[in-house]
Chains A and B, each alone.
Chain A
Amino acid sequence: MSEIDITVRLDQVRKSFGEFTAVKDLSLAVRAGRIFGLLGPNGAGKTTTIRMIVNITAPDSGTIELFGQRITPTLQDRIGYLPEERGLYKKMKIGDQLRFFAELKNISGKEVDRRIDSWLARVKLSEWKNKRAMELSKGMQQKIQFIMAVLHEPDLVILDEPFSGLDPVNVELLKDVVLELKRTGKTVIFSTHQMELAEKICDDICLINRSQKILDGSLRQIKKSFGRNAVALRMEGSNGILNDASLVSSVQTHSDEVEVLLAPGATAQQFLRKLVDSGANVSKFEMIEPSLHDIFIEKVTEAE
């Protein structure tokens, strides 16, 4: 992995507010052209980390590099940022507002107008262009703010809880846009505490809890390393096998199926054969990967 493939690199970054340390010696690398999930519960230090990457606040110690350079205000123009705490000028028209924020990113002219129109069409808000922001619903405003983050075609897009409060249709809409950004070679940092969502779109993740990194790497690799022998099972009869301690270490019962964690040394093949031999009627037998949620819970409890 050469240096140029790293869009953002944090090295031993620390930031405190008075007594409280918000980010403690955080090191991470965001690879170019991938979707990077910055995950953790509320108050873990995600927003503080992002603010430092965007150059809104400076770290107390440690270094931050963007596109292989130490951060400077001019690098801000190559970043698009959708903060979690977001707002619009209530009385300004949507079109004027988008143009203003584009100017703040050093782009202006006819091209901006064209991009504004095409983005508004894409998020189905074209007819709102000349309305004031206060007339829009919360969800609509959120889509406008999303456009602000991508209008200047930045190389790095940072989205802090971009889907919170949106209905499923709009979540799908924005998710497609995010995936398209990745296809066009942009790097995306996606911060959320909703693990299910992160699991669906992230390539790489970094888990933080209580100001500290717990775990990072590619999502696939992390899952593989957490590879537990778990099976989702739906069947009738022969419950006796589930009590065999040499095969099964624990059983969780869900509504119409059970989740079986196999004992160390036992394989899924052995387990299935035993079940079939015992005359059970198996309608579902599926190896399951651990969810990000499970990994997170396990890691956090392990650390404490």
Chain B
Amino acid sequence: MTKFLAVVKREYVVRVRSRMFIATTILGPLIMSLFGLVPALIFRMEVGGPLRIAVVDQTGRLYDRLSESLMNERKESEGVSIADGARKSVQMNSAERLQQVASQQRQTFWLQKIEMSASLEQTREQLKRRIREKEIDLYLILPTDLLDYGSAELVGSSTGDIFAKDDLEDAISNAVREARLEQARIDPQTVRSLSRPTQLKVMKIDDLGETEDRGQGFIVVFGVGFTIYLTILLYGQMVMGSVIDEKETRIAEILFASVRPFTLMTGKLIGVSCVASTQLAIWGLAFITFVFFGTNALTWRGVPMQLPGIRPILFLYFALFFLFGFFIYATVYALVGSMATTPQEAAQLAMPIILLLVVGFYLAFPVIKSPNSPFAFWVSIFPFFASITMLVRIVSQTPPFWQIALALLLELGTIVALLWLAARIYRVGMLMYGKKATIPEIIRWVRQA
């Protein structure tokens, strides 16, 4: 027991004291939020100035409406108050975020009305020349029959910007609709006020009562799944690194002369799991502190922050599923580490493990969509996926308790089986220098032990 504790202590102290641990503890949440933010920021990047469009309005009735419509569009999106924006960015799910990015990224259009002085063909030639000379980016032709059935024509050297194209299409449709309504003697002002869009308010019912869900549910589910996936990956690899280190430096031989391989391996797993728990506890406390003080401060400043309701039992489930998932993957990592001779070789051998973990992470998405389907059930009790998928189910729509218990039980059984297997391979693998273990050899070790 003393030996076991000595192994746990060494593993823990060395790692918690390392610069790496301190850096990931502080930067971890930052890096995770960057994963969400960087793509958004890249989408937002405005490269180049406004889109310069020359408009040939053959109907003579659309240009003013078009330019007004495009300007309105901009005003509307700018009209969203800062407070609103802040609230939005906290609550949005990824689909919404993409949309917002697109709207924020909307080009400011710069329109120029072209009076037709010559034939259409001549005007076209002129406009094409201007595009070649880079005076304008695009030209738009609104033909006379557009009000009845025709289609508008947009010409330019680069027409790849789908956001700009959608905006223009909307604006033209609006302008055409208004012109048609006017023709039918209906006041466009009335039409506009009558066709104001409605909004869908989403409510979630669970044992917390009824709460409005503006997408924050998805954020929590996604965040939980991602955190567990990332920490298992990170700390599983840490176990593997530690095993390879002891094999490569040949410390294993002295260690095995003092402590039984199984004690060493389990001590290592427990030690690293303590490191991971420490880090998660720090993050958890920081999160709770933020919830209690941060949101109050923000609300007080006029930023309405509504954080999703999180039940305390979730923390317990998170801890359990994290630890069980960690032990499953870390044991496999330890096993792989003992079979390899160099870190490079181990990285190769570990590829299938990472793949399994990634699959588990992506399975979270269909599970979020329909957390009560048979598919979600089977996927969430499968031991290699359960830590991510069952937790995702618990957060989105808590399944019956027996399903949670079953998932945990199956994970526990898997851990025991893997430890049994790993102990046999680890002992022999650690003392084998210079060559990678072959599959028949490994089978023999397991049989002989």
Could you tell me if A79 and B250 are in contact, using CB atoms closer than 8 angstroms? no
Min CB gap A92→B, angstroms: 6
Min CB gap A175→B, angstroms: 22
- Given A100-B6, A100-B10, A76:B250 Cβ within 8 A: no
- Give every chain B residue within 8 A of A106 (Cβ-Cβ): 2-3
The stretch from B217-225, B252-260, B347-355 touching chain A is: B252-260
- Give every chain B residue within 8 A of A57 (Cβ-Cβ): 431
Interface residues of A, dominant DSSP: loop
Min CB gap A156→B, angstroms: 11
Could you tell me if B257 and A76 are in contact, using CB atoms closer than 8 angstroms? yes
Q: Which residue of A lies closest to B252 (CB)?
A: A87
- Give every chain A residue within 8 A of B444 (Cβ-Cβ): 18
CA distance A269 to B385 in the complex (A): 90
Could you tell me if A104 and B255 are in contact, using CB atoms closer than 8 angstroms? yes
| Chain A 34-88 residues near chain B, CB threshold 8 A | 51, 54-57, 73, 76-77, 79, 81, 83, 85-88
Could you tell me if A103 and B3 are in contact, using CB atoms closer than 8 angstroms? yes
| Chain B 1-17 residues near chain A, CB threshold 8 A | 2-3, 6-7, 10, 14
| Partner among A18, A51, A73, A77 whose Cβ is within 8 Å of the Cβ of B260 | A73
Min CB gap A96→B, angstroms: 8
Could you tell me if B251 and A76 are in contact, using CB atoms closer than 8 angstroms? no
- Give every chain A residue within 8 A of B245 (Cβ-Cβ): 89-90
Could you tell me if A81 and B257 are in contact, using CB atoms closer than 8 angstroms? yes
- Find the residue from B3, B258, B444 having the highest chain A CB count within 10 A: B258
Could you tell me if B253 and A85 are in contact, using CB atoms closer than 8 angstroms? yes
- Given A103-B3, A103-B6, A106-B2, A86:B253 Cβ within 8 A: yes
- Give every chain A residue within 8 A of B257 (Cβ-Cβ): 54-56, 76, 79, 81, 83
Q: Is B249 an interface residue (CB 8 A)?
A: yes
- Contact pattern, A 99-113, Cβ under 8 Å of B = 1, otherwise 0: 011011110100000
Q: Is B43 an interface residue (CB 8 A)?
A: no
Taking beta carbons and an 8 Å cutoff, which residues of A are in contact with B? 18, 51, 54-57, 73, 76-77, 79, 81, 83, 85-92, 100-101, 103-106, 108, 145, 148
- Give every chain A residue within 8 A of B248 (Cβ-Cβ): 87
Could you tell me if B14 and A87 are in contact, using CB atoms closer than 8 angstroms? no
- Give every chain A residue within 8 A of B250 (Cβ-Cβ): 83, 85-87
Q: Is B433 an interface residue (CB 8 A)?
A: yes
| Chain B 242-274 residues near chain A, CB threshold 8 A | 245-246, 248-251, 253-260
- Give every chain A residue within 8 A of B14 (Cβ-Cβ): 89, 91-92
Min CB gap B270→A, angstroms: 16
- Give every chain A residue within 8 A of B433 (Cβ-Cβ): 85
Min CB gap B15→A, angstroms: 11
CA distance A73 to B4 in the complex (A): 13
| Partner among B3, B246, B431 whose Cβ is within 8 Å of the Cβ of A56 | B431
Could you tell me if A101 and B254 are in contact, using CB atoms closer than 8 angstroms? yes
- Give every chain B residue within 8 A of A83 (Cβ-Cβ): 250, 253-254, 257
CA distance A108 to B6 in the complex (A): 10
Could you tell me if A88 and B249 are in contact, using CB atoms closer than 8 angstroms? yes
Could you tell me if A103 and B249 are in contact, using CB atoms closer than 8 angstroms? no
Min CB gap A248→B, angstroms: 50
Min CB gap B330→A, angstroms: 20
- Give every chain B residue within 8 A of A101 (Cβ-Cβ): 254, 258
Could you tell me if A89 and B259 are in contact, using CB atoms closer than 8 angstroms? no
Min CB gap A64→B, angstroms: 14
- Find the residue from A89, A104, A145 having the highest chain B CB count within 10 A: A104
List 21 A-B residue pairs with CB atoms under 8 Å apart, sorted by A's residue number.
Answer: A55-B257, A76-B257, A76-B258, A81-B257, A83-B253, A86-B251, A87-B248, A87-B250, A88-B249, A88-B251, A89-B251, A91-B14, A92-B14, A100-B10, A101-B258, A103-B2, A103-B3, A103-B6, A104-B3, A104-B7, A104-B259
CA distance A83 to B257 in the complex (A): 9
Q: Which residue of A lies closest to B251 (CB)?
A: A87
Could you tell me if B258 and A105 are in contact, using CB atoms closer than 8 angstroms? yes
Could you tell me if A104 and B6 are in contact, using CB atoms closer than 8 angstroms? yes
- Contact pattern, B 1-42, Cβ under 8 Å of A = 1, otherwise 0: 011001100100010000000000000000000000000000
CA distance A148 to B251 in the complex (A): 12
Q: Which residue of A lies closest to B430 (CB)?
A: A56
Min CB gap A20→B, angstroms: 13
Min CB gap B122→A, angstroms: 78
- Give every chain A residue within 8 A of B259 (Cβ-Cβ): 104
Closest 8 CB pairs of A and B: A87-B249, A103-B6, A87-B250, A104-B258, A81-B257, A85-B250, A87-B251, A83-B253
CA distance A286 to B182 in the complex (A): 133
- Give every chain B residue within 8 A of A73 (Cβ-Cβ): 260
CA distance A85 to B248 in the complex (A): 10
Q: Which residue of A lies closest to B247 (CB)?
A: A87
| Partner among A55, A77, A81, A90 whose Cβ is within 8 Å of the Cβ of B254 | A81
Q: Which residue of A lies closest to B449 (CB)?
A: A58
- Give every chain A residue within 8 A of B7 (Cβ-Cβ): 104
Q: Which residue of A lies closest to B432 (CB)?
A: A17
CA distance A88 to B6 in the complex (A): 16
CA distance A148 to B250 in the complex (A): 14
CA distance A18 to B441 in the complex (A): 9
Other 16 A-B pairs with CB < 8 A, given A81-B254, A86-B251, A87-B250: A18-B444, A54-B257, A73-B260, A77-B258, A79-B257, A81-B257, A83-B253, A83-B254, A85-B250, A85-B433, A86-B250, A87-B251, A101-B254, A104-B7, A104-B259, A106-B2
- Give every chain B residue within 8 A of A104 (Cβ-Cβ): 3, 6-7, 255, 258-259
| Partner among A56, A88, A148 whose Cβ is within 8 Å of the Cβ of B256 | A56
- Find the residue from A56, A85, A101, A106 having the highest chain B CB count within 10 A: A56
Q: Which residue of A lies closest to B433 (CB)?
A: A85
Could you tell me if A89 and B249 are in contact, using CB atoms closer than 8 angstroms? yes
CA distance A51 to B430 in the complex (A): 13
CA distance A56 to B255 in the complex (A): 9
Q: Which residue of A lies closest to B7 (CB)?
A: A104
CA distance A79 to B256 in the complex (A): 12
CA distance A85 to B250 in the complex (A): 6
CA distance A226 to B258 in the complex (A): 40
- Give every chain B residue within 8 A of A77 (Cβ-Cβ): 258
Q: Which residue of A lies closest to B258 (CB)?
A: A104
Q: Which residue of B lies closest to A102 (CB)?
A: B6
Q: Which residue of B lies closest to A86 (CB)?
A: B250
- Find the residue from A55, A85, A145 having the highest chain B CB count within 10 A: A85
- Find the residue from B245, B251, B254, B259 having the highest chain A CB count within 10 A: B254
CA distance A51 to B255 in the complex (A): 12
Q: Which residue of B lies closest to A90 (CB)?
A: B249
CA distance A83 to B253 in the complex (A): 7
